[in-house]
């Protein structure tokens, strides 16, 4: 009788873990996901998927599903703080620059274009459902990883709940987020720095009073610099759900609990959200975050491999964290398919680590750092001072294409090409 194939163990049912499980399940590889929570968690976090991720969704059969549940925005913009409208309310701040990701007058917006918006929690639910449909993926909730033992040809894990039996797999994928236990257990530090600011992120129902054209908006020229992004299609004249993420300067000594008080958040909206006053704003979810620029020295230790926030963290300005994690997932799934289904050397996993670390170090880390620091500028002179905002003033098609190139060519890793170059 043929020996049964050991499953790949995925720790963490976040979007990255579920996506890897989906890819492997589709390739006929058995997978077991272990999630410490009792159900998929909801937190106000990622929402927008760029072109490279859209292409991955399309190639893997997810694009139409994500597109049907989500909606497309045409691009990003930078504005000053909202301005008094002379009627007791505030209008949108002045437009400093806009970055089209697709033609705003194009109603079709085929893949890849725009910023495909769908809340991280909805994406994860959708991907997990598709993973389970492959028939090769199982998920176990209430299963918090506590230890890992690696052998030559297998890896065994235990759980905090000692009533749960140990489980053995062929490889372990640590997709357990920024505080990854996998990362700690395999002895890998996450090196870099933590920014001194905290962020308050809220999901809030707001009225849509005008068409902002560029829905995702960075507000600069204040210590409370902000990202406003729609979570559902913002139809003018109707109310809809928005994500409002506001920076809290380092000198603000209030505790997280104090910052999460309704009146504190409403006070911040007064400064950064446009609309009539008093502002009708119904808060649906809220969280305080610390933000980091950090990367592990390796994403592979033996039969354990890291992906997503477990391996690297960046600030959310530019919406690159989950996109990078999903592109890790795309590369790692392809690497594991080569190893497990095609019998190729597992040194490919080291090549995965090297390639994805390079993407973070030379593209994601500097780009997100620049995205954040740009918001510290004075709004009066930012459009002139900052080379990036200046480049967006009257760009030619050629300049736009050049700017978009790394978002496609650098961000995603073609693991088959990487393996070939490495002679594996």
Task: Using alpha carbons, select from 279, 160, 189 the residue that is nearest to residue 228.
Answer: 279
Task: Using alpha carbons, select from 163, 11, 52, 93 the residue that is nearest to residue 382.
Answer: 93
Nearer to ligand FAD, 8 or 13 (CB): 13
Residue 173 as a binder of ligand FAD (CB under 6 A): the answer is no
Binding segment (CB under 6 A) for ligand FAD, from list 62-70, 188-196, 313-321, 340-348: 313-321
Residue 330 as a binder of ligand FAD (CB under 6 A): the answer is no
Q: What angle do CA 337, 191, 420 make, to 5 degrees?
A: 30
Binding segment (CB under 6 A) for ligand FAD, from list 78-86, 312-320, 359-367, 398-406: 312-320
Q: How far is the CB of 332 from ligand FAD (least distance, A)?
A: 12
Q: Which of residues 50-109 bind ligand FAD (CB under 6 A)?
A: none
Report the C-alpha gap between 271 and 250 in whole angstroms: 18
Report the C-alpha gap between 255 and 17 in whole angstroms: 32
End-to-end CA distance of the chain: 31
Residue 11 as a binder of ligand FAD (CB under 6 A): the answer is yes
Nearer to ligand FAD, 118 or 419 (CB): 118
Q: How far is the CB of 251 from ligand FAD (least distance, A)?
A: 21
- Helices 51-59 and 397-409 pack at an angle, to 10 degrees, of 50
The residues near 133 (Cβ < 8 Å, ≥ 6 apart) are none
Interface residue with ligand FAD, options 36, 125, 215, 356 (CB under 6 A): 36
Residue 374 dihedral angles phi and psi, to the nearest 5°: -60, -30
- Give the ranges where 71-197 is alpha helix by DSSP (H): 120-133, 181-185
Q: Are 32 and 169 in contact (CB under 8 A)?
A: yes
* Other beta carbons within 10 Å of 203: 20
Residue 321 as a binder of ligand FAD (CB under 6 A): the answer is yes
Q: How far is the CB of 385 from ligand FAD (least distance, A)?
A: 26
Binding segment (CB under 6 A) for ligand FAD, from list 5-13, 205-213, 351-359, 383-391: 5-13
What distances in angstroms separate CA 18 from CA 40, 58, 88, one per listed residue? 10, 16, 48
Q: Are 209 and 274 in contact (CB under 8 A)?
A: yes
Nearer to ligand FAD, 129 or 399 (CB): 129
As a residue count, the chain comes to 424
Residue 41 as a binder of ligand FAD (CB under 6 A): the answer is yes
Q: How far is the CB of 311 from ligand FAD (least distance, A)?
A: 8
Residue 198 as a binder of ligand FAD (CB under 6 A): the answer is no
Binding segment (CB under 6 A) for ligand FAD, from list 78-86, 307-315, 348-356, 396-404: 307-315
Nearer to ligand FAD, 13 or 419 (CB): 13
Binding segment (CB under 6 A) for ligand FAD, from list 77-85, 150-158, 172-180, 336-344: 172-180
Residue 289 as a binder of ligand FAD (CB under 6 A): the answer is yes
Nearer to ligand FAD, 113 or 419 (CB): 113
Here the tokens at position 307 are 């992906």
Binding segment (CB under 6 A) for ligand FAD, from list 61-69, 97-105, 173-181, 231-239: 173-181
Report the C-alpha gap between 333 and 207 in whole angstroms: 42
Nearer to ligand FAD, 274 or 323 (CB): 323
Question: Tokens 């395999």 label which residue?
Answer: 186
Report the C-alpha gap between 24 and 27 in whole angstroms: 5
Report the C-alpha gap between 286 and 12 in whole angstroms: 22
Q: How far is the CB of 421 from ligand FAD (least distance, A)?
A: 27
Residue 144 as a binder of ligand FAD (CB under 6 A): the answer is yes
Residue 323 as a binder of ligand FAD (CB under 6 A): the answer is yes
Q: Which of residues 216-245 bind ligand FAD (CB under 6 A)?
A: 245
Residue 12 as a binder of ligand FAD (CB under 6 A): the answer is yes
* Other beta carbons within 10 Å of 118: 22
| Residues near ligand FAD, by CB under 6 A | 11-17, 34-37, 41, 45-48, 120, 144-145, 175-178, 181, 199, 201, 245, 289, 308-310, 316, 319-323, 325
């Amino acid at each position: 009788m043929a020996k049964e194939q050991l499953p790949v163990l995925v720790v963490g049912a976040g979007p990255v873990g579920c996506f890897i499980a989906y890819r492997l399940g589709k390739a006929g590889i058995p997978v077991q996901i272990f999630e410490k929570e009792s159900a998929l968690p909801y937190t106000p976090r990622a929402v927008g998927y760029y072109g490279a991720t859209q292409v991955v969704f399309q190639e893997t059969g997810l694009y139409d599903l994500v597109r049907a549940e989500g909606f497309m925005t045409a691009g990003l913009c930078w504005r000053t703080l909202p301005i008094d409208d002379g009627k007791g309310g505030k209008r949108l701040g002045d437009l400093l620059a806009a970055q089209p990701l697709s033609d705003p007058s194009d109603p079709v917006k085929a893949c890849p274009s725009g910023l495909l918006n769908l809340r991280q929690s909805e994406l994860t639910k959708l991907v997990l459902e598709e993973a389970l449909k492959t028939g090769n993926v199982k998920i176990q909730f209430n299963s918090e990883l506590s230890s890992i033992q690696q052998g030559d040809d297998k890896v065994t894990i235990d759980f905090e709940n000692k009533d749960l039996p140990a489980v053995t797999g062929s490889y372990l994928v640590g997709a357990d987020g920024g505080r990854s236990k996998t990362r700690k257990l395999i002895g890998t530090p996450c090196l870099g720095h933590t920014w001194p600011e905290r962020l308050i992120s809220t999901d809030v129902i707001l009225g849509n009073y005008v068409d902002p054209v560029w829905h995702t908006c960075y507000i600069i020229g204040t210590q409370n610099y902000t990202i406003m992004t729609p979570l559902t299609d913002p139809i003018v004249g109707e109310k809809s759900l928005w994500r409002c993420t506001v920076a809290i300067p380092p000198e603000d000594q209030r505790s997280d609990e104090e910052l999460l008080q309704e009146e504190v958040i409403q006070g911040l909206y007064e400064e950064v959200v446009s609309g009539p006053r008093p502002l009708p704003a119904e808060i649906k979810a809220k969280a305080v975050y610390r933000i980091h620029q950090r990367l592990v020295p390796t994403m592979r230790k033996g039969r354990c491999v890291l992906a997503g926030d477990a391996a690297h963290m960046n600030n959310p300005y530019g919406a690159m964290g989950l996109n990078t994690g999903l592109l890790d997932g795309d590369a790692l799934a392809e690497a594991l398919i080569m190893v497990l289904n095609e019998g190729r050397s597992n040194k490919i996993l080291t090549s995965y680590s090297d390639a994805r670390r390079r993407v973070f170090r030379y593209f994601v880390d500097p780009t997100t750092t620049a995205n954040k620091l740009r918001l510290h500028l004075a709004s009066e002179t930012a459009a002139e001072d900052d080379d990036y905002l200046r480049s967006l003033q009257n760009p030619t098609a050629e300049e736009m294409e050049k700017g978009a190139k790394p978002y496609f060519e650098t961000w995603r890793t073609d693991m088959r090409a990487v393996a070939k170059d490495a002679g594996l």
